Amino acid sequence: MKHSTQTAEDAVIAMAAKYSEGLRGYIDSSTLPRYVPPAIQSPLALPVAVLLTGSTGNLGTYLLLELLGDPRVNRVYTLDRAGKAAVIERQLASFADKGLDPIILASSKLVVLEGDAYAENLGQTKEVYADLLDEVSVIIHAAWRLNWNAGLDAFEPNVRATRALVDFARMARHADGIRFLFTSSIGSAHSWDAAARGPVPEELIEDPAVCIGGNGYGQSKYVAERVLAASGITFSSVRIGQASGGMPRGAWATSAWFPTLVKLSLHLGALPSDEQPVAWLPMDVVAKITVDLVFSKMPLPPSLGIAHPRPIPWSQMINYVQLSLKRVTHRNLRIISFHEWMIRLEAAALQSSVDARDSRDTNLFWFFRQVCTGEAFLRRFATANAESLSETLRNTRTLKQRDADAWVDYWAQRGLFKAKNSRTNL
């Protein structure tokens, strides 16, 4: 076991070193690159041009909405990979899914780009790339592969894209004042012992062991943090806690762990309860906080934590969900302990009354066990610095019944509660 952990650490260090070569913080191929603070943080000259990656994703959609509606922004370049549908069609579809008015996508501010960030010139022509270098002073990097079961190697293209964006930032006309916000994850500090050490601090963590024990997704986010740390540019790696469904529709992907838990609970006839805190933030609120950080008049620290500053008990949140499910499905589920719920789930999987293809064979059961033992909640994040920079975070309201109502209505509209047969596919 010790050997596998060491091997995982070696892989993290090697990838961070590989993509830091040529940067000021690079040491050698077997050493974690060091942090190089920016020489100066010049104030943003308004209005700004923003380069946004991942604009068709869940968070990216809300970020695009906020940026296009902000008078301090005069141009939004979205950079997304090619897909079966054109980027603008995917943006329109994501807006529709989330109940957002698509008319803003007709804004003259929006410039839609298609290409791989890790390709030469970010996948653009030399002329377009030159325009980007001349105009952009803010980068929000929100594009990342979503796969909870893949190893670190599978995310290397994402790390390579991060390095390409770092190189772009260093060459930009506004390099001295550029702001680079990277949407990181709680998974980048997976092994932080919050019970013994307190909340994960809003600072770069030098020990790569902090990301080991989770999955390749969190490890790759840690690697990207270290590449940014070695660059010498003004950046902030924003470790985002659990994001819940964004308003106005409560859009929360049915493939995510909590909607899956709710679907399984309907099969099991019971919802799990606990007294651990729930510090979830709606996705639209996370986007507003991110934009607050972009325009902060204070210097950006290299790491920030975003989680709800006023969490509620899981038991209260699950009561909200219970009432919403009763209204929508006409079933009044019992509320039992998380431990008992987990026993029922494992028994049902063994009896093949639920499809275990995506449960025991993946990280889902593992994650539910963490929730059951409290480990998934104990990795709490300090948020004081982020609160000082974001009025939205300071003043965000607590989760209420109307949030759960919106989530459940959205899931019902997306067919989450429709049983195609007697089995419940995870």
**Buried/exposed 314-342: b ≥16 CB within 10 Å, e otherwise:** bebbbbbbbebbeeeeeeebeebebeebb
Q: What is the pLDDT of residue 46?
A: 95
Q: Where are the domains of the chain?
A: 8-240, 257-277+312-378+398-414
Cβ contact 296:238 at 8 Å: no
Picking from 209, 400, 200, 385, the residue whose alpha carbon sits closest to that of residue 316 is 400
* Cβ neighbours around 103 below 10 Å, total: 8
Sequence-distant (≥ 6) Cβ neighbours of residue 123 within 8 angstroms: 79, 113, 114, 115, 116, 117
| Tokens at 326, concatenated | 């009763």
**181 — alpha (psi -120 to 50), left (phi > 0) or beta?**
beta
Taking every pair of Cα atoms in the chain, the longest distance, rounded to a whole number of angstroms, is 62
181, containing H or E segment: strand 179-185
List C-alpha distances in Å: 302 to 203, 229, 289, 293: 7, 7, 16, 12
Residue 121 burial (CB count, 10 A): 16
pTM (two decimals) = 0.93
Q: Give the pLDDT confidence score for residue 424 in this predicted structure.
A: 41
Q: What fold is seen in the domain 8-240? A: Rossmann fold (3.40.50)
- What's the confidence (pLDDT) of residue 377? 55
CA distance 355 to 362: 12
Calpha distance 218→189 (Å, rounded): 8
| End-to-end Cα, the chain, rounded Å | 30
| pLDDT for res 261 | 94
Backbone Cα Rg of the chain: 22
Q: Which two tokens stand for residue 226?
A: 């270290």
pLDDT averages per 10-residue partition of the chain, 426 residues: 66 98 96 94 92 98 99 98 95 98 98 96 97 98 91 97 98 95 94 89 96 92 98 97 96 93 95 92 99 96 97 96 98 95 87 54 65 62 96 98 98 88 39
Pairing of strands 243-244, 110-114: unpaired
